[in-house]
Structure 1
């Protein structure tokens, strides 16, 4: 898988890989892909994979080079073929992955990663973190003069992940505390009130928008309805958050594992988990809306089941992890080690939402995290094992 992913290297960062492993030259480098691939190769360098350290260094240099806005701060969402910034927005989702990549690379000893992490945390804290609400602003104009009225759970979810890694990399518990505040609102309050389905879309005052994008149900980042894969991903992150508190000697809030179970069971029930894969989205009664099967959803299903099995000792979670992993291997993993990103309801390869194979982040997590402790984060655990 890593050998396939290495083919995404460009002069500037990493490109969008097609199904055959060649870079799609019609798309310039995108920030979220570059940050994710930097995370992937930073972990691979800690595993001792030949060539991974150089790829991680390349990623850090690109994130700290053409992607970084030196005039206003923060990072551009995309570059054109000549390395010039494209677009005029800066998103919480993208910037959370910059934090994740920089923190992981810093632990891996990648040159210049420490400085990048300092800048990324400063920007995230100043521009995206809303201390009063304990949540994140979704998106700004490029000069930070205008914030989008929309608020989203997806960027917040990945901020939880990034903050947990940042807490381990910096030994600063403030990031773990902020991760908990995000989860308290979006999961313990909102998802609990919606039968453990994750509400994805909100207005600027964090009022739910249940009909958002009904006309664009297969949107890759803001789809209509509930997303079972995010319920599973949140469940895994809550288990990690629980374990991080225990490792720090702080009593974890009692609702964390309860909520992880609730999210997991709801997503599994809505998706009829594992028999024919997980649909991308459902309506608010659990009926599938977009019946495509995405690789990332199945990665998160396996990881959530594995995490809950280890946290609770309950065999049913281990059984589901094994069952869902069998489906993943049978239908999503290709002979060359790459992963199909999308299947249709008939389980044949599809590209309605995700053409090509641009993302090794979920796949690496699925392959690696079950062999590591629930806390600390992967980079710190691998560094300690060395």
Structure 2
């Protein structure tokens, strides 16, 4: 079996020793420290059933469960993905925790085929709103969990979710509503981006061309509405007619999202054979030119379309998305892998140290100091996905792979 999330980790053998060493260090932290921590304090259950009530929403800064009184479905779904992928890599305990989170998530399945947005810690419904961001991650998690649970139920639920989305939240000019019931506010690219990731995961799981239809639609939305070809940037907030909103919000660019789309467009090409290399290059070039602090290598939070810094801090998730984008764009060739190694070093340094073992500092300020009042579980999805792309790079470089 391969190292694409479907098999145990195998020792890397890649020509670039620095990338090999970075991969080994990341692997050690993930499998020996982080997964045990989040499989224990990060799950909510008993000794016999460690994820009976799903995953914790977040941890306090001392590493203990914070128990805020609610659980968002998006967090449950992200943790289902993380433990599913860990199980597919061969991590003991991953399958058990994934099963528990999956069972807990079913408490949020609505009778009409949609999903609620929030549950109580025990699984009662707190908020029946259907939120596109939540739905994207539910679809994503179901698509991955189907590779572990071969009963057919996760795929059936994933397809039912897509059908429900199309029937109830699709709009006449492309894309979907942010929420149902509908709320005020601009249309957002972010949930559509994650919905594309979910659609690609479903298609890769099933191999059925019909499951790729949603991905095709979302890439077309990106190409015609979300992407600014002149600036080579990705907008965040739009009017009902998919025009950038007025004021500062219409000019905002998040380098982390630019990098996510770079990876998604490459993944779309890998799975469907339909490529948009010019779009990916433009997004990547803008991110590298304006979004990365040249002194630290950290990816900044928010810019404007002309590259001006709006928020100069650095969220953890943006670093893992830069890692994925760097790998699919250049691999180790462009600068002998130095940027890949630098990103991993930043993760293992300021983000994964100075906090309880196996957890992270989720946000650094503009001076590089940790800030924040919690350790969000939601970041684990980004970490696991970033590691998986590095693992694929290393293992595909093995002789005879």
Structure 2 length-normalised TM: 0.79
Matched, 1:201 2:221: no
2:341 alignment partner in structure 1: 322
Decide whether the 8 Å contact of 2:186 with 2:245 is kept in 1.
no
Question: Alignment partner for residue 158 of structure 1, among 177, 194, 219?
Answer: 194
Structure 2 CA distance for partners of 1:325 and 1:275, relative to 1, 3 Å: farther
1:99 alignment partner in structure 2: 139
Decide whether the 8 Å contact of 2:327 with 2:393 is kept in 1.
no
1:333-352 correspondence runs (5 A):
333-334=352-353, 336-351=357-372
Structure 2 CA distance for partners of 1:338 and 1:317, relative to 1, 3 Å: farther
Structure 2 CA distance for partners of 1:161 and 1:344, relative to 1, 3 Å: same
Equivalent-residue separation in structure 1 for 2:283 and 2:236 (angstroms) = 14
Structure 2 CA distance for partners of 1:189 and 1:227, relative to 1, 3 Å: same
Which secondary structure does the structure 1 equivalent of 2:338 belong to? helix
1:28-107 correspondence runs (5 A):
28-65=70-107, 67-70=108-111, 72-107=112-147
Decide whether the 8 Å contact of 2:113 with 2:161 is kept in 1.
no
Structure 2: gaps of 5 or more residues: 1-33, 45-51, 395-400
Decide whether the 8 Å contact of 2:292 with 2:300 is kept in 1.
no
Q: CA deviation at 1:190?
A: 3.9
What is the RMSD of the two structures over their aligned residues, measured on CA atoms? 2.6
Decide whether the 8 Å contact of 1:203 with 1:209 is kept in 2.
yes
Q: CA deviation at 1:202?
A: 1.2
Matched, 1:275 2:295: yes
Decide whether the 8 Å contact of 1:104 with 1:169 is kept in 2.
yes
1:120 alignment partner in structure 2: 161
Decide whether the 8 Å contact of 1:16 with 1:357 is kept in 2.
yes
Equivalent-residue separation in structure 1 for 2:225 and 2:120 (angstroms) = 41
Decide whether the 8 Å contact of 2:139 with 2:198 is kept in 1.
yes
Structure 1 length-normalised TM: 0.82
Q: CA deviation at 1:173?
A: 1.9
After superposition, give the CA deviation of every residue in 1:233-252 in whole Å (9 maximum; x if it has no partner).
Answer: 10111111111123xxxxx2
1:284 alignment partner in structure 2: 305
1:227-242 correspondence runs (5 A):
227-242=254-269
Which secondary structure does the structure 1 equivalent of 2:330 belong to? helix
Q: CA deviation at 1:34?
A: 0.1
Decide whether the 8 Å contact of 2:364 with 2:371 is kept in 1.
yes
Question: Alignment partner for residue 3 of structure 1, among 22, 27, 36?
Answer: 36
Decide whether the 8 Å contact of 1:274 with 1:324 is kept in 2.
no
Decide whether the 8 Å contact of 1:274 with 1:323 is kept in 2.
no
Equivalent-residue separation in structure 2 for 1:168 and 1:272 (angstroms) = 32
After superposition, give the CA deviation of every residue in 1:192-220 in whole Å (9 maximum; x if it has no partner).
Answer: 33512211111222221153669xxxxxx
Structure 1: gaps of 5 or more residues: 215-223, 247-251, 375-384
Higher relative CO (Cα under 8 Å, sequence separation at least 6) belongs to: 2
